[in-house]
Amino acid sequence: MVPGPLEFKAVVAAAIAAAQSAYYLAQAEYFLARATDAVALKSRAAAIADTYANQGARSGSILPFTSALAGLCAAATAAVVEILPVATGAAVLLQIPAIAVFPGERAKRASLDEDEHASQRAKRAASEASSLAASEASSLAKRASATIVGVLARFARKP
C-alpha cells in the first residue's frame, strides 16, 4: 500500500504500529483514571455512610439508659398516682406540681421509638452505600481490565 522500497514500508508500518499502541495505551489510561476516580467517589460516599452509621450507633447507645430511666419514671408515676387520691386538705396544693412533673409514659416511649428508628435508618443507608460503592468499583475495574486486555490482544495480532 505504501510506495517505495521494503525498508521504507517497514519504517511506515513501525510508525503506524507505534501510533496505534500510543492511542490504545492512552485509551486504557483514560478508563483506568475514570475507574480510579469512581472508586474514590464511592469510597467517599461509603465513608459518609459509615459516619452516619456511627452517629446512629452512638444515638442507640443511650437507649439502655433511657429505658431504665423510663422505668424509674413509670414507677414514680405509679407511686404518685396512688398517693394523690389519698392526699386531702393542704396536700392538695402538692398535687399540682406532682402532676406537672410526671407528664406520662407516652411522651417517653415516642422519644425512644424515634431514636431507634433513626439508628436503623442510618445503618440501612450505610449498608446500601457500601454495597453500591463496591459494585460500581468492581464494574469499572472490570471495564478497565477488559480494555487493557483488548489493547494487549490487538498488539499481539499486529505484525
| Domain chopping of the chain, boundaries | 6-157
Range 58-76 average pLDDT: 78
Query: Could you give the C-alpha distances from 93 to 27, 80, 88, 96, 103, in angstroms and in order?
Result: 85, 14, 9, 6, 17
The percent of the chain in helix, strand and coil, each rounded to the nearest 5, is 90, 0, 10
Please, which pLDDT band fits residue 88 given cuts at 50, 70 and 90? low
Please, which pLDDT band fits residue 42 given cuts at 50, 70 and 90? confident
Please report the pLDDT score of residue 19 as a whole number. 92
User: 105 or 113: whose pLDDT is higher?
Assistant: 113
Instruction: Check pLDDT > 80 for residue 78.
Output: no
Rounded-to-integer distance, Cα 40 and Cα 47, Å: 10
Please report the pLDDT score of residue 98 as a whole number. 64
Range 33-49 average pLDDT: 86
Please report the pLDDT score of residue 79 as a whole number. 76
Task: Encode 112-147: b = buried (16+ Cβ within 10 Å), e = exposed.
Answer: beebeeebeebbebbeebbeebeebbeebbeebeeb
Please report the pLDDT score of residue 23 as a whole number. 92
By three-state DSSP, how is residue 98 classified?
Answer: helix
Rounded-to-integer distance, Cα 17 and Cα 153, Å: 13
Of the listed ranges 83-87, 95-99, 108-112, 145-149, the least confidently predicted one is: 108-112
